[in-house]
Amino acid sequence: MSRSAEERIAKFHRFGSVLGLERIRMLLSKLGDPQKDLKVIHVAGTNGKGSVCREVYEVLQANGYRTGLYISPFIEKFNERIVFDGQDIPDEDLDAITDMVIEKSDEMVAEGYDSPTEFEVVTAIAFVYFKQNGADYAVLEVGLGGRGDSTNVIDKPLVTVITSIDYDHMERLGYTLEEIAAEKAGIIKEGVPLVSNVAHREALELIARRAYEKNAPFTDVTRMEVKIKDSGLQYQTFDFYTHEKIYRDVEISMPGKHQIENAKTALAVLETMRSRHMAELDMEKVLEGMKKAVQPARVEVMSTDPMIILDGGHNRAGAEALRDTLKEVFTDDQKITMVVGVLKDKDVPGIMDVFDEVADRYILTEIDNPRTVTADAWPGYMEGRSTPYKVIREPEKAVAEALAEQKDDCVIVAGSLYLAGQVRGFLRESIKNKV
């Protein structure tokens, strides 16, 4: 990304992360309301929404549709957040649209309105870009919650999706799963089909009730059967039984049972679109797109020899998904070294409780983020734990230490997408140099 656009967008960080739709509606109005011309698949959820978005995007792409994808956060480069027709937004387009959006933001402030937030500015850039390029569809990942998230400015999406409900961002969304579900259910629209894969009973009941109140046809993915045929670290194959048809021999390239659940959700979304004549989908192309979909830093196998896995799960549910995957694919005699960095506003004790079940040793580090658990704070979190550890402040040095001492160990880098973004390029270079 060009530094000028990056720096100009980052200046809006000072306005914080404030939920609500008034600012984004005003900004988009000044830009000609580009969102009103987009056919949107709108995806919320605590975990899994990024993978579901990627799978729906890849399948629509494989079927010949010019499709936009808006996700957050990015891993290595800002441009990853806005994807269209198989490519991240080019720097020149990002620069030009950033100029346009900031000009309208300045107009708002001059007229006495509150400034848009950083996320609202980026959302507006994505909408303008998709509109300019004549997107057939836009797949939008909710940034935070749902009801007050800037992506919820879409009044009439094609389909809304809630992938899962779990504890995260409690200070913003609520301290019970029902409260969190209520925030995410804010994306449900009158008469718009809803697809949900929420397992928690009370949260599911709330979502189903909201769907009923909005006359939204409701697909409950938890009631749909899947038959797993084969499973490995770099692929999984299964049959999926929807109410309409059977999807046989679906192969995905992401490991873990949680990714089977995400794939079920994506297929249910696509089946909703197919059966309601929102898109024409060829079965072979559906399978092609599902296999192609890969989310970086979601149990990402960087190397099999030596074994190195990168994961950005940043809450307890994400840690549990990683733990379960490691238990599925590794034997007890395979030693695991975990390089861990976590943000202090997350459930750090809960995350470490989960990691303790699989880690044979830790190298603990800091993230380049003011919210990081610092090197000085890590010993307090490790008090009473039996897993040996050392603390290395710089993430790249921590990873280098793990690789240097690897022997037969599996090296897992985990705890935050911010950490994953910092070390992913370094890992690639280290692996290449070893080969």
Q: pLDDT (tens digit, 9 = 90+) per residue, 44-63?
A: 999 999 999 999 999 999 99
- Predicted local confidence at residue 170, as pLDDT: 67
Cα separation of 157 and 195, whole Å?
Answer: 13
Q: Rounded distance, CA 344 to CA 422, Å?
A: 17
| Common-topology check for domains 3-292 and 300-434 | no
- Predicted confidence at residue 435, as pLDDT, reads 46
What pLDDT does residue 222 have?
Answer: 96
pLDDT in tens, 305-337: 889 999 998 899 899 999 999 998 888 889 999
For residue 11, pLDDT beyond 90: no
Architecture of domain 3-292: 3-Layer(aba) Sandwich (3.40)
Q: Per-residue pLDDT averaged across 82-106, rounded? A: 97
For all residues of the chain together, what is the average pLDDT? 93
Residue 16: band (very low, low, confident or very high) from pLDDT cuts 50, 70, 90: low
Tokens of 72: 């957050």
Report which DSSP code applies to 187.
Answer: G
This model's pTM is above 0.85: yes
The CATH code of the domain at 300-434 is 3.90.190.20
Per DSSP, helices labelled H in 243-389 are 257-275, 283-292, 316-329, 348-355, 378-382
Q: Are 329 and 412 in contact (CB under 8 A)?
A: no
Q: What is the DSSP letter of 34?
A: G
- Which one, of 200, 173, 168, lies nearest residue 184 by Cα? 173
Q: Inform me whether the pLDDT recorded for 73 exceeds 80.
A: yes
pLDDT of residue 118: 93
Q: What is the Cα–Cα distance from 333 to 343, expressed in whole angstroms?
A: 31
The Cα–Cα gap between 157 and 176 comes to 28
Residues 378-405, mean pLDDT to the nearest whole number: 96
* Closest by CA position to 373, among listed 342, 352, 403, 411: 342
pLDDT of residue 68: 98
Instruction: Tell me what pLDDT residue 1 has.
Output: 42
Q: How far apart are CA 167 and CA 392, in angstroms?
A: 29
Pick from 19-23, 308-312, 356-360: least confident: 19-23
Q: What's residue 209's pLDDT?
A: 97
Q: So where are the chain's domains? A: 3-292, 300-434
Q: Give dist(CA 358, CA 297) in Å, integer.
A: 19
DSSP 176: S
State the average pLDDT over residues 107-130. Answer: 96
